Copies of this chain bind each other. A is one copy, B any other.
């Protein structure tokens, strides 16, 4: 592949306001330069890797992330403090524990019906489902073939974007039930370490959010 395509791929991803799939990149290039242009998904991947290495070397403040089935430019975490101060985009409230729990079940078991979710959580989940639908983190996709033909729920691309995931299979694998009780605190510990690392920054962010501290 000609090295000019590094720049073209860079321009395409840079100009897209949503994560750009490999297929769209190839389509755009072939449309402009002719359908005989030799460019494969592998070339695109290699090009993105090359670009990211360059950004790293040149100490750029941003890189190309693989997210929601596509590529998108994003700032590096080091600059979270500064950009967090400026922008209001992310000063949205974080999801509640109940919302995360419901989302986890849907993410791992999708497509799944509401009754199934409620059995797993042990609580009525009307409100949570409603909230997640409104936030466009989940959506309805068809019906189950079981009695009553309940609606089936799946996660959306917005879900992937919200959590910075490339595809659903990038989610960490849930552990087998047997393992769970053996070292039940494993993940909690991991989370705590993580929390401590970034606590300071998160606090700054929360401070600049200002008004919504009612959740804990």
Contact = CB atoms under 8 A, between A and B. Distances in A.
A59 interface: yes
A98 to B, nearest CB: 9
A83 interface: yes
A166 B145 CA distance: 10
B180 A130 contact: yes
A14 B73 CA distance: 9
B126 A184 contact: yes
Contacts of A121: none
Contacts of A192: 216
B133 A180 contact: yes
A82 B8 contact: yes
A11 B90 CA distance: 15
| Residue from the set A15, A28, A76, A78 with the largest chain B CB neighbour count within 10 Å | A15
B151 A176 contact: yes
Interface residues of A, number: 64
A142 B126 contact: no
Interface string A149-167: 1011000000000011110
Interface string A19-40: 0100010011101100000000
Nearest to A195: B216
The 9 A-B residue pairs with the shortest CB-CB distance, nearest first, are A11-B79, A11-B61, A142-B164, A141-B164, A127-B184, A10-B61, A15-B83, A7-B61, A143-B170
12 contacts: A7-B61, A10-B60, A11-B61, A16-B87, A20-B86, A32-B204, A130-B184, A141-B163, A142-B170, A143-B166, A152-B164, A192-B216
Given A11-B79, A28-B86, 13 more contacts: A7-B78, A8-B79, A8-B82, A10-B62, A11-B83, A15-B87, A27-B89, A126-B182, A130-B180, A133-B180, A141-B163, A143-B166, A149-B170
